[in-house]
Structure 1
């Protein structure tokens, strides 16, 4: 009885180990992601909170590793809500939400910019 249990346990462990290795292979390499350090999770989306008249400097990072990014381009969907300098300084103009696309090299990401009073 002990031999059957041992064989069953050994086969089960082998199966689990093989299954985990197969899962690891399916994941592929971890890709770099561009992120904004000032972004917060709000309403199910990552948002950048900005107050009208109070400029906010966006600080970019590449993860994993939290490596700083200094060069990027900013494309706004609603330029009447907020302005963006080429250095990442955001200034809210009127209350509302804008969508900003940020590109650095081959990486790009979009965020909602939530401008409040």
Structure 2
């Protein structure tokens, strides 16, 4: 047991001398963020998959807590690819990728909308 206690003492001394007092890093308070429940991770980006002719009703949430959001505004870069209603209904108009920015209060987020046949 003496070897273990010496090793422990050595680690504690090294950590203390390096200013490491805890293994847990203080990240500060967790901030709220806006998310789309229907979004999926694809190609390294969060995307919303939509098919032409099949409108998709998206559901917004604020995390942490997965609190439902009912009021938001939508703006997009390519209105020829997809349209967005004030209630979050996405309609694919042509095959391609659009970028939608969604804002609710002070929170905003952007997603790639991938429209396929």
**TM-score using structure 1 length:** 0.86
* Residue of structure 2 in register with 1:43 after alignment: 43
- Give the whole-Å Cα distance in 2 for the aligned partners of 1:112 and 1:7: 55
Q: Which residue of 1 aligns with 2:23?
A: 20
Where does residue 55 of structure 1 map in the other structure? 55
Q: Which runs of 4+ in 1 moved over 4 A?
A: none
**Alignment RMSD (CA, Å):** 2.2
Matched, 1:9 2:8: yes
Alpha-carbon shift at residue 45 of structure 1 (Å): 0.8
Aligned equivalents of 1:84 and 1:77: distance in 2? 11
Structure 2: 5+ residue stretches without partners:
none
Q: Secondary structure at the match of 1:50?
A: strand
- TM-score, normalised by the number of residues in structure 2: 0.86
